[in-house]
Amino acid sequence: MIALVTGASRGIGRAIALRLACDGIPVVINYLNNQKAAESAVEEIGNAGGRACAIQADTGDPDQVNQLFQQAENRFGPIDILVNNAGILHRGNIDSYDPVAMSAMLKTNLDSVIHCTRAAAPNMRKNRDGRIVNISSIAAHGTAAAGTTWYAPTKAAVESLTRRFALELGPAGIRVNAVAPGFILTDMVDPANREEVVKTMAAKAVLGRCGTPEDIAGAVAFLVSDQARFITGQILTVDGGRTDFLSH
Catalytic residues: 151
Q: Find the shortest distance in angstroms from Cβ 59 to ligand NAP.
A: 4
Residue 87 near ligand NAP by CB under 6 A: yes
Residue 13 near ligand NAP by CB under 6 A: yes
Residue 238 near ligand NAP by CB under 6 A: no
Residue 25 near ligand NAP by CB under 6 A: no
Candidate residues 21, 42, 58, 205; the one interacting with ligand NAP per rule CB under 6 A: 58
Q: Find the shortest distance in angstroms from Cβ 42 to ligand NAP.
A: 13
Q: Find the shortest distance in angstroms from Cβ 185 to ligand NAP.
A: 7
- SS3 letters across the chain: CCEEECCCCCHHHHHHHHHHHHCCCCEEEEECCCHHHHHHHHHHHHHCCCCEEEEECCCCCHHHHHHHHHHHHHHCCCCCEEEECCCCCCCECHHHCCHHHHHHHHHHHHHHHHHHHHHHHHHHHHHCCEEEEEECCHHHHCCCCCCECCHHHHHHHHHHHHHHHHHHHHHHCEEEEEEEECCECCCCCCHHHHHHHHHHHHHHCCCCCCECHHHHHHHHHHHHCHHHCCCCCCEEEECCCHHHHHCC
Q: Which of residues 125-154 bind ligand NAP (CB under 6 A)?
A: 135, 137
**Choice between 31 and 69, CB closer to ligand NAP:** 31
Residue 187 near ligand NAP by CB under 6 A: yes
Residue 239 near ligand NAP by CB under 6 A: no
Candidate residues 5, 181, 219, 228; the one interacting with ligand NAP per rule CB under 6 A: 181
Only one of the segments 20-28, 55-63, 167-175, 224-232 lies at the binding site for ligand NAP (rule: CB under 6 A); that segment is 55-63
16 phi and psi, to 5 degrees?
-65, -45
**Choice between 4 and 124, CB closer to ligand NAP:** 4
Which residues here bind ligand NAP, judged by CB under 6 A? 6-13, 30-34, 37, 58-60, 85-89, 108, 135, 137, 181, 183-184, 186-188
